[in-house]
Structure 1
Amino acid sequence: MARPRWHQTLTAPSSRLERRWDRFVALWAALNLLWVAFDISYIPLRTFWLQRNLYPLPSVPLAVPLTFIPDITPWVDPIKGIEPHRETQAYLRQFDRLDAALGQGPTGAVTPIQRQLLAEQARLTAEMIDSNPMQASGTSGTLEKIKNRLRQRADRDSAKQAAAVLLSPAWIDAHPWSQERLFWRQQVLPLVATTYWRSIDENGRPTDHFWRYDLLLFQSVFALDILLRAIRLRRRLPGLSWGRALLRRWIDLPLLLPFWRWLRVVPVMERLHTSGLISIEPLRAVISRAVVALLAVELFEVLALQLIDGLQQLIRSRRWPMRIRALRSHQMVVSNDERELVELVRIWGPLLLVRVAPRLAPELQGVLGHALQQSLQNAIVPPGLRQLQPLLQVEKGLSRQLAGGMVESLLDLTRTTGERLSRRDDQQLELLQRCIDRFWEELAEALESGPALERSQQLLCTFLEEFKGNYLSQISRAGIEGLIEELDQIMVKGSQGPQERTDAP
């Protein structure tokens, strides 16, 4: 079975201590990432951490209690500069006094003290609706929930009127307090308790001491690990400077930044991967495939257009003959005195003249014989005697013999020339070099002296322009997807090949 590219073994640290340290730092970085996620989401989810209730349906007051989760707000609120709101705390204390008075009093008519407490509670409710203390904590929607529940309970259009009705002696006389207190305790007071006040530092920003714990517990460890990695890198590469060694760990920069902390997910995933705890190559392959599918068409179109436009500019240039002359040997920059073109002629000449040309003898004889027969058909046999088959057979035989003789002579000449070219001969190489230089010179002069240059430039540029319009317009993303699948198949086959050879006896 072929092993995918992302299952390749990773280069582990040299010592066991370094390996354990890398895994510890990777796990510590993962813990820091969770702490960062908790810190970022604490303010939006503070109501959940305070009440530890889950509301499956936001529009319905149905709560699923999660009492097994501890109340962490007393420890986290001071870190975020959160303090209880004075107005809402006074409202909750006043309700506790009202609940105690109504719960301990005798059944029957409402006493004057109870009337006074009910009126005070109604006044505080109206003030809370007017002042909206939830706005300070950015939870104005909480007040709307309270107002909606008051309206539904009293069946009134105004939240203030509903609060006055629910806290009136007549309503308390008609409805048992045991039921009313459940409404207030379960649907109103928990929402009021979520209101808080957050202090502001000297810079005008909300107080947040998270950076102190982050710096002391996590960033100090990350800085030490980056320094150790730079030391290990300079140990392997003694000529590497400290600046370049630290620059190679640029991916660890988000671990030391006090802002944009969500970027730490990149170095954390990289450390977990390099330490061997997880493998992110399948995810990286999927992401890179999606990116390639989106950008391959545009990237290829830009590169192809740039290449074709460059060729058109080169072709339209009036310096084209000069560039052809520059191909001569004495104008080319050649390293180690190696004449590449001459060496290619010396290698390919014998290959074509000695090995390839003799095998084409029957085909060459047929082509040359047909050409001779067409040339001699009026010279040997007159038109009036061409109806006689014996004379035509003689004409064909003569053409075949002449063609065979010419081909044999030509092949003997080419065979002899090829054998001579295969030998190392300095004078022969010099002659070949002169011939090639003369060819470039005559070609450049012919292009300069006649109309062929402008016409060739026009035709080639027109061809390239039609190529841009026809070929590039046919490229589609569906074709790119097919190419990516074909590449995957090629990579799988390539990984199967060495394994099969290894397993073979």
Structure 2
Amino acid sequence: MKNSQSHKSQQKLFFFFKLLSWYYDRLFISRIMALVSVLNFGLVLFDLSYIPLRDIWLNGVITVGQFKLGPYEFNGIQLEIVPKRLREKIIQYDVIKGIEPYRDTQLYLEEADLLENTINQYGLDNEKTKEILKRLREMSVDMIREDPFRLANKSGTLEIIKNRMREHMNNYIDNPDSSSTFAFTSFWTVDNLENNLYGQLGFFNREIRPLINTNYWRPIGENGQFVDYFGLLDFPFIVIIFTDFIIRCLVISLRYHGVKFQDAIFWRWYDLIFFLPYFRWLRIIPISVRLNDSKLLTYKRIQKQISQGFVAGIAGDITQIVVLRIVNQIQKTIEKGSIEQILFKEETKEYINLSGKNESAEIVKLLINLVVYEMLPEIRPEVEILLSYIMIKTISESPMYENMKNLPGFNNFPDKISNKLATQSYQIFLNSINGILQEDPIFEKHLEKIIEKATKTLNLRPNARYDINKIEELLVILLEEVKVNYIQQLSDEDIEALMDETRAINN
């Protein structure tokens, strides 16, 4: 009975694992989750940009080309980019950001509406109209003094309102102090409105009202931050992405030996960015990975360009460092007197011969073998031509030949004799060298004596050590000049040329 229950449990676990593996391996599921992530990121971007762009969503208008330079000013061109029906829907997002109409500025606009209605019903000289105008003057003074735009970080908008009203009223009143308060209180008077009622009210509705309407109130929560309900919109996406994250981590831990669940979490570390309460714009990182994994977008070319750009950026420095280290090491070796130690072995500690051979003699012998058997036979035609030319030139320029060249049979004498002499001379030289290079212990003994005698000569010569030291000093200076003139001036063009060759090979 227990075995039967255990078997059923194993079957259920096996089926569960197969289901999770099927979910993990399905490309269309990866694509769905990638699209969900993109949709969530789009919502994040809209939320982050909503406050900065709220004026556009509210009025649907942007001003292009506005500038002020000293006495020159251009108000720009206003373009309506968002239809009214659409912006009425978008502006409902105020609820999510906790935005409410600011009471004082809202009352100001309502008072202006009441003024228009009262004028239409009772006229401009009515007592009710004059009472409303008085309240508008008082509210204008309070608005300028108290700055109700400060909480929304829109004090700049109030400055624009004051400037526009001041510039407008300069055409109707004498305002030597350029007082915006005097401009507003003069605007809301019967004397100002009766001259051009609809023009003045049209200016207010067109230039002032939209700016006042952008002000808002935003309450502060118990955490000291502005009230924001974006988390309610974000939460369903986070639940879906978190579920997908847990499933994928679980499959990774079950599929790969030695990988625990916590290891799998770090395996997909980039998904953890989704669950950060702040810096939501960083979600672009896991979204990019998911889009690449789902093959909706591939970043191979981008990755290639980034990596090549990175390599190009550091290749010069790396090359410089490596070459400089080599040159520096050579300099240090020379400064320690290594050349002197090699040439003056007898004055240093006893030389240890590890191989039992004279390496110097062996090296000379190998070099001679390389030259005689590999190089000299290959360059023989060219050498013979050169020898022939030298002999022809020597014979032709000799005084003896100048006297003999007019004799019969001596006209082509230099060509004939030089060709034969060149061929025979080169062959004699090769035969001599080949004979010397045959296994000849006596030759090797003489060669060792020559090398040993050369070394002793250097030791016995009075100025030899001074000359060697001078050579070492000159070599150190020469290497320093090489560093300054060549190594440290590796140009970007050189590195870019190398990178271009690399790209050509890879393609």
The TM-score bracket by the shorter chain reads 0.5 to 0.7
Please state how far the C-alpha of 1:350 moved relative to its aligned partner.
10
Counterpart among 485, 488, 496 of residue 481 in structure 1: 496
Counterpart position of 2:229:
209
Q: How many residues align?
A: 427
Distance 1:66 1:91 in 2: 26
Q: Counterpart of 2:109?
A: 92
Partner residue of 1:83 out of 89, 100, 103:
100
Per the alignment, residue 266 of structure 2 pairs with 247
Structure 2: how far apart are the matches of 1:466 and 1:356?
Answer: 35
The CA deviation string for residues 42-61 of structure 1, in whole angstroms up to 9 with x for no partner, is 11111112222333344347
Describe the shift of the 1:330–1:248 C-alpha distance in structure 2 as closer, same or farther (beyond 3 A): farther
Residues 353 and 231 of structure 1: CA distance in aligned 2, closer, same or farther (over 3 Å): farther
Matches of 1:397 and 1:194, distance apart in 2? 107
Q: Of the candidates 185, 191, 197, which is equivalent to residue 205 of structure 2?
A: 185
In 2, Cα distance between the equivalents of 1:29 and 1:146? Answer: 42
Q: Which residue of 2 aligns with 1:62?
A: 78
The Cα shift of 1:472 comes to 2.5
Specify every segment of 5 or more residues in structure 1 that has no aligned partner in the other structure, as ranges: 1-12, 332-346, 374-386, 418-437, 496-505
Which moved further from structure 2: 31-40 or 128-137?
Answer: 31-40
RMSD: 5.1
- In structure 2, relative to structure 1, the CA distance for the partners of 1:103 and 1:17 (3 Å cut) is farther
Cα deviation code 1:237-272 (max 9, x no counterpart) = 423454554334344443332333333323322322
Which residue, out of 35, 39, 50, partners 2:43? 35
Higher relative contact order (CA 8 A, sep 6+): 1
Deviates more, 1:164-173 or 1:351-360: 351-360
Equivalent residues of 1:365, 1:407 under 8 A apart:
no
Change (3 A) 1:168 1:236: same
**Post-superposition CA distance 1:336-363 (Å, at most 9, x none):** xxxxxxxxxxx99999997777667889
Measured at CA, do residues 307 and 254 of structure 1 come closer, stay the same or move farther in structure 2, by a change above 3 Å?
A: farther
Render the CA deviation track for 1:482-505: whole Å, top value 9, x for unaligned: 3333333x23xx54xxxxxxxxxx
2:233 & 2:104 partners in 1: Cα distance? Answer: 32
SS across alignment from 1:279: coil
Match of 2:30 in 1: 22
Residues 275 and 458 from structure 1, CA distance in 2 versus in 1: closer, same or farther, beyond 3 angstroms? farther
Letter in 2 for 1:62: Q
- 2:183 is the alignment partner of 1:162: yes
Tell me, yes or no, if the aligned pair for 1:49 and 1:72 is still in contact at 8 Å: no
Specify the SS of the correspondent of 1:62.
Answer: strand
The residue that corresponds to 1:145 in the other structure is 160
TM alignment of 1:69-468, pairs within 5 A: 69-72=86-89, 75-105=92-122, 107=123, 110-155=125-170, 156=173, 157=175, 158-176=179-197, 178-214=198-234, 216-234=235-253, 237-288=256-307, 295-313=314-332, 316=335, 404=427, 407-408=430-431, 411=434, 451=465, 458-468=473-483
Is the 1:358–1:411 contact (alpha carbons within 8 Å) kept by the matching residues of 2?
A: no
Amino acid at match of 1:30: V
Distance in 2, Cα, partners of 1:366 & 1:297: 46
Alpha-carbon distance in 2 for matches of 1:309, 1:120: 86
Q: Is the 8 A contact 2:23 2:29 kept in 1?
A: no
Q: Distance in 2 between matches of 1:257 and 1:234?
A: 24
What's the offset of the Cα at 1:316?
Answer: 4.2
The 2-side partners of 1:320 and 1:191 are apart by 86
Question: Does the CA contact (< 8 Å) of 2:64 and 2:77 recur in 1?
Answer: no
Identity fraction in percent: 28
- Given the two structures, how large is their TM-score scaled by the length of structure 2? 0.66
1:201 match: secondary structure: coil
Aligned residues of 1:115 and 1:169 also touching (Cα < 8 A)? yes
Aligned to 2:59, which of 42, 45, 51?
Answer: 51
Deviations 1:257-316 (A, max 9, x none): 233333332332232233221233444455555555555444543443344334434554
The whole-number CA distance in structure 2 between the counterparts of 1:320 and 1:256 is 66
Counterparts in 2 of 1:400 and 1:17: CA distance versus 1, 3 Å: closer
Q: Which amino acid aligns with 1:98?
A: L
Change in Cα spacing, 1:354 to 1:182, as seen in structure 2 (3 Å) is same
> Are 1:233 and 1:245, in contact at CA under 8 Å, matched by a contact in 2?
yes
- The residue matched to 2:100 in structure 1 has which SS? strand
Q: Distance in 2 between matches of 1:81 and 1:471?
A: 65
Code of the aligned partner of 2:100? E
Q: Check whether the contact 1:110–1:173 (CA below 8 A) recurs between aligned residues.
A: no
Structure 1: distance between partners of 2:211 and 2:370:
93
Q: 1:367 to 1:52 in 2, by over 3 A?
A: closer
- Cα deviation, 1:364-404, whole Å, max 9, x if unaligned, reads 99999xxxx9xxxxxxxxxxxxx99xxxx99x999987985
Distance 1:357 1:233 in 2: 67
Change (3 A) 1:352 1:304: closer
Q: Which moved more, 1:258-267 or 1:226-235?
A: 226-235
Residue in structure 2 matching 1:470, options 449, 469, 485: 485
Q: Retained in 1: the 8 A contact 2:61–2:78?
A: no
Which amino acid in the other structure matches residue 221 of structure 2? Answer: D
Label 1:310 to 1:256 Cα distance change in 2 as closer, same or farther (>3 A).
farther
Gap change, CA 1:401 and 1:49, over 3 Å in 2: closer
Q: Which letter does structure 1 place at the counterpart of 2:323? A: A
Are 2:292 and 2:298, in contact at CA under 8 Å, matched by a contact in 1?
yes
CA, structure 1 residues 73+358, in 2 after alignment: closer, same or farther (shift >3 Å)? closer
Q: How far has the Cα of 1:134 moved from its partner?
A: 0.8
Matched residue of 1:55: which SS? strand
Q: What secondary structure is seen at the aligned counterpart in 2 of 1:71?
A: helix
Change (3 A) 1:46 1:314: farther
Q: 1: distance between equivalents of 2:206 and 2:476? A: 82
In structure 2, C-alpha distance between the alignment counterparts of 1:314 and 1:279, rounded to whole Å: 52
- Tell me, which stretches of 5 or more residues in structure 2 are unaligned? 1-20, 67-74, 343-351, 356-365, 392-402, 405-415, 440-447
How much does 1:22 deviate? 1.6
1:124: how far off?
A: 0.6
Cα distance in 1 for partners of 2:385, 2:424 equals 11
* Partner Cα separation in structure 2 for residue 228 and residue 318 of structure 1: 68
Change (3 A) 1:205 1:310: farther
- Matched to 1:92, the amino acid is L
CA contact (8 A) 1:365 1:404 kept: no
